Structure 1
Amino acid sequence: MGPGTDAPVLDFAPWTQTASGIRLDLLSPQPDMFTREDIAAGLSHAARFSGQTGRFFSVAQHSLLVSSLLKAWGHTPEVQLLGLLHDAQEAYLCDLARPVKVLVPGYKELELRLWAAIRERFGLDDLPPEVKDADNAALHAEAWELLGPPAGDWAGPQAEASLQTVPDARHWLNAVLTPQEARSAFLQRWAELEGPSATGGNLN
């Protein structure tokens, strides 16, 4: 079932209320249902690795790390913004660990529906491969930093995952941020990458 196909018939209304009070239809999301503030609120309270970490580390902080890697690798502000927003749909669906996502029928479809509406709302391109590369690099670095020695070899060698040659990325990896601090930093980075003309002076 693709984003443009008919929604399944349910015996309840599949919607959720956002931090700003918007009623978000999960099966038929519209671009005007999404705001910068709601995305920042959701991502800054969502924990990486299902919260199984030595300290709180939000998806918003992960997104800042991904965006900083893309900047360090010489990519354009447009690609850096895609790195910042690559998990935007998780502000509404939560951050399921990759092994869990594949076990939840319909979750990928919901991600695609929300991402399509978010892209339209903010005029985004689809994600280029470079964003996935940065996402994976951040994942491996976070695993070593937050989980301790990862079980198995899925995160690669620690020396390669340490990001020691990328000071800005190390900053976001090491910073201890509350949800409020992560939210503020996320919105600030978004505004920087879009520029004042893109937001019209506000963050809605």
Structure 2
Amino acid sequence: MYIMNASGRLINPFDLKEEDFDPRVIAQTLSRICRFWAQTSEFYSVAQHCLVMESLFEDPVLKKWALAHEVFEGLTGMDIPTPIKRQPHMASWREAEEKALEKFASIHNLPYPVPPQIKEADKRLLVTEALRFMNSVNYDWEKQVGYSPYPLSIIGRPLEMKEAEIAFLTRWYELFSPYFK
């Protein structure tokens, strides 16, 4: 199975190659995907989510993982909500995502699996973003997710797609390019 990405390359999400991990494609895609299955009060991209995540850390390895933890979504164009992703019929998708994260770690000489600090920050940020962008009248995000939120102010204003794309790609090159070290 092959799909065409923004660069015109045909990729197989279930068997990604090193050359498939193009940061320009990842930045463009993540900047166009809205969090929470686009059920938000205003547009808030996965790219901005990653930028906020990255700002939470000081350690260079954690900063890289925080910015890139949604790399599979950036390659496939889909941010599948966790309740759906956990369904038995989604096992092959979860495996493909893990394979992609492992390949990404190998490419960038990062520890694998994804550090637990990243997973915890992602859950806390999910609660924070939900409180900011979702209709939470009948839903206790903190109780359901099991984590307390960060201060809402860490999110800032929602970025436009192009603005998020440029900010994400700029930060990517600052963190991952040897020329910026």
Q: For this structure pair, what is the TM-score category when the shorter chain's length is used for normalisation?
A: 0.7 to 0.9
Instruction: Report the counterpart of residue 59 of structure 1 in structure 2.
Output: 46
Instruction: Report the counterpart of residue 103 of structure 2 in structure 1.
Output: 117
Partner-residue secondary structure (3-state), 1:191: helix
Q: Quick one: which of 27, 36, 41 aligns to 2:14?
A: 27
Instruction: Report the counterpart of residue 77 of structure 1 in structure 2.
Output: 60
Distance in 2 (alpha carbons) for counterparts of 1:85 and 1:106: 21
Distance in 1 (alpha carbons) for counterparts of 2:47 and 2:91: 25
Instruction: Report the counterpart of residue 27 of structure 2 in structure 1.
Output: 40
How far the C-alpha of 1:193 sits from its partner, in A, is 2.2
Cα deviation per residue 1:103-141 (whole Å; 9 max; x = unaligned)? 234210121222222223333222111111111111010
Change (3 A) 1:15 1:150: farther
Distance in 1 (alpha carbons) for counterparts of 2:71 and 2:118: 13
Letter in 1 for 2:106: E
1:101 aligns with 2:85: yes
Larger radius of gyration: 1
Change (3 A) 1:120 1:32: farther
Count of aligned residue pairs for this structure pair? 174
Letter in 2 for 1:163: P
Distance in 2 (alpha carbons) for counterparts of 1:29 and 1:192: 24
Change (3 A) 1:49 1:187: same
How far the C-alpha of 1:196 sits from its partner, in A, is 4.3
Instruction: Report the counterpart of residue 125 of structure 2 in structure 1.
Output: 138
1:152 aligns with 2:139: yes
How far the C-alpha of 1:27 sits from its partner, in A, is 2.6
1:189 aligns with 2:166: no
Distance in 2 (alpha carbons) for counterparts of 1:38 and 1:125: 23
Letter in 2 for 1:175: R
Q: Quick one: which of 71, 74, 87 aligns to 1:91?
A: 74
Query: Does structure 2 conserve the Cα–Cα contact (< 8 Å) formed by 1:48 and 1:59?
Result: yes
Root-mean-square deviation (CA, aligned residues, Å) is: 2.2
Flag structure 1 segments of 5+ consecutive residues without an equivalent: 1-13, 200-204
Partner-residue secondary structure (3-state), 1:56: coil
Distance in 1 (alpha carbons) for counterparts of 2:101 and 2:180: 19
State the TM-score, normalizing by the size of structure 2.
0.86
Distance in 2 (alpha carbons) for counterparts of 1:68 and 1:143: 18
How far the C-alpha of 1:59 sits from its partner, in A, is 0.7
Cα deviation per residue 1:143-168 (whole Å; 9 max; x = unaligned)? 00000326432325xxx52516xx6x
Letter in 1 for 2:40: T
Name whichever structure is richer in helix by fraction: 2
